[in-house]
A = this chain, B = another copy of it.
Amino acid sequence: MNMPEPREEIKNFSPYTAGMSIEEVKEKYNLKDVVKLASNENICGTSVKAVKSMKKEFDSIFMYPQSRNKRLISRIASKNSVEEEMVITGNGTDEIIELIAKTFLSPQDNIVVSENSFIRYKMAARLMGAGVKEIPQKDFTHSLSGLVAAIDNKTKIHFIDNPCNPTGNYLNRAEIEKIIKEAGKLATPPLIVLDEAYFEYVDAEDFLSGIKFLSGKKNLKEDAPVMVLRTFSKIAGLAGLRIGYGISSKGIIELIERIRPPFNTNRLAQAAALGAMDDDKFMRDTKNLILKEKDFLYRQLKKIGVTYEKSQTNFLLINPKGIDIKAFCEYSLKNGVILRPLNGYNLSGHLRVTVGRRKDNKKFISLLKEFLK
């Protein structure tokens, strides 16, 4: 069959490699019990209130969703003390990342990212033919000086995942402020996109959410413009439904809204997100469990001599020296634990593991111990 020529950008485009799902692993390895510690999902499941709210929407699934669901947008706005016109929802924040790229990036532009940031930022830029300035990390943390120095007059977007995925580290209040102030001094300041997917797990006292720059009109003229991304895929336990949101100035949201597909978020995701926002207890309990289990993992890893990065999220970056990570992931998979080998990152020898329930964490540690022998 004939084939039209794809765009230049597509010719060498590397697709995202999704990890295996529990269903796929069960089938491939003929296993009954499989746990996934690979995608930083909420290991406690989903909020009961979210599920309840979703069930009420059943009779309506034959109808298209509301394009901008008024109740949801208004709830997100009030929760974050911003105006409704400052909110956009997406089919996961993944979609919002791409919408931002499609709104602003042309081949003559570039984006600045940290080398070990979430890989989808780079993919979104490459999709639009824009350049990617990847700044090496220092000690598994975003390099503040490196990032600030890299932003130039062709930089349209600076994506920062804070906390950072996959290292679990973060930039503190002073560092975030510095980036926003310094970038603001440029003739054409870039949009600073703060991806706060793991925001709800943070316990560092000097962490600053980008929302601070958006609520109450605190994003000053001399600052670079800010956009914050949040998701219902992590602590809210709705990864399978696909819903996230972005908050920025009205002007920026209006531009991105022009190209938002009209029915991008589905009815059940909209309803579940509304329910999840009413369930502070579920999120608090999850956070407390993760803090406790993170401590458990820290202690166990220390015991077996495996180094790790202190994490502000529900995952840990660990460095089990002297073993073949790919082989360990394969071994672990066959034993019913799905892990993330970090292909495509400059983190060879490292592994990202989601903090699980006690029995999951014990199983992971015992597999690691066995393999280290």
Interface residues of A, Cβ cutoff 8 Å to B: 1-8, 10, 13-16, 18, 21-24, 36, 39, 41-46, 51, 57-67, 70, 91-92, 94-95, 98, 102-106, 127, 156-157, 184, 188-191, 219, 221, 223-226, 233, 237-242, 249, 251-252, 255, 257-264, 266-269, 272
B7–A103 touching, CB < 8 Å: yes
What are 25 inter-chain pairs, A to B, with CB distance below 8 A?
A1-B249, A2-B224, A3-B255, A4-B188, A4-B191, A6-B104, A7-B102, A10-B255, A15-B257, A15-B262, A16-B67, A21-B63, A24-B66, A39-B64, A41-B64, A43-B62, A57-B240, A61-B241, A62-B237, A65-B239, A65-B240, A65-B242, A91-B91, A240-B266, A242-B266
Copies of this protein in the assembly total 2
Residues in B whose Cβ lies below 8 Å from that of A242:
65, 91, 263-264, 266
Using A2-B224, A251-B3 as known contacts, say yes or no to A15 and B61 having CB atoms under 8 A apart: no
* Nearest residue, chain B, Cβ from A106: B7
In the complex, the answer to whether B64 meets A46 with C-beta atoms within 8 Å is no
A8 and B106 contact, Cβ closer than 8 Å, known pairs A61-B46, A241-B268: yes
Complex CA–CA separation, A233 to B238 (angstroms): 22
Instruction: Tell me the bound Cα distance from A95 to B262 in angstroms.
Output: 10
The binding surface of chain A is classed by DSSP as: loop
9 smallest beta-carbon distances between A and B, as pairs: A240-B267, A18-B67, A62-B237, A61-B240, A1-B249, A16-B262, A13-B258, A64-B239, A242-B266
B188 lies within 8 A of A5 (CB)? yes
| Contact flag A272-B42 (CB < 8 Å), given A221-B1, A261-B95 | no
Q: Which residue of B lies closest to A128 (CB)?
A: B7
- Give A71 Cβ to nearest chain B Cβ, in Å: 8
CB distance from A74 to the nearest CB of B (A): 12
Q: Does the CB pair B4–A98 fall under 8 Å?
A: no
Query: Are A223 and B2 within 8 A (Cβ)?
Result: yes
Contact across chains for B191 and A238 when beta carbons are under 8 A apart? no
Contacts of A260 in B (CB 8 A): 15
Q: Give A98 to B259 CA distance when docked, in angstroms.
A: 11
CA distance A269 to B239 in the complex (A): 13
The residue in A42, A45, A226 that gathers the most chain B C-beta atoms within 10 A of its C-beta is A45
B156 near A4: Cβ-Cβ < 8 Å: yes
Report the Cα distance A2→B259, complex, angstroms. Answer: 20
Task: Give Cα distance in the complex from A180 to B39, angstroms.
Answer: 44
Instruction: Report A274 CB to chain B, min CB distance, Å.
Output: 12
- Give A269 to B134 CA distance when docked, in angstroms: 36
Q: In the bound complex, how far is the Cα of B136 from the Cα of A236, in angstroms? A: 50
CA distance A235 to B65 in the complex (A): 16
Chain B residues, CB < 8 A from A91: 91, 242, 261, 264, 266
Cβ of A102 to closest chain B Cβ, rounded Å? 7
- Residues of the B chain whose Cβ atoms lie less than 8 Å from the Cβ of A98: 261
Bound Cα distance from A239 to B189, whole angstroms: 41
Instruction: For A272, give the chain B residue with the smallest CB separation.
Output: B61
Q: Is the CB of A15 within 8 A of B258?
A: yes
A306 to chain B, nearest CB (A): 26
* Contact indicator A61/B106 (Cβ below 8 Å): no
Residues of B within 8 A of A15 (CB): 257-260, 262
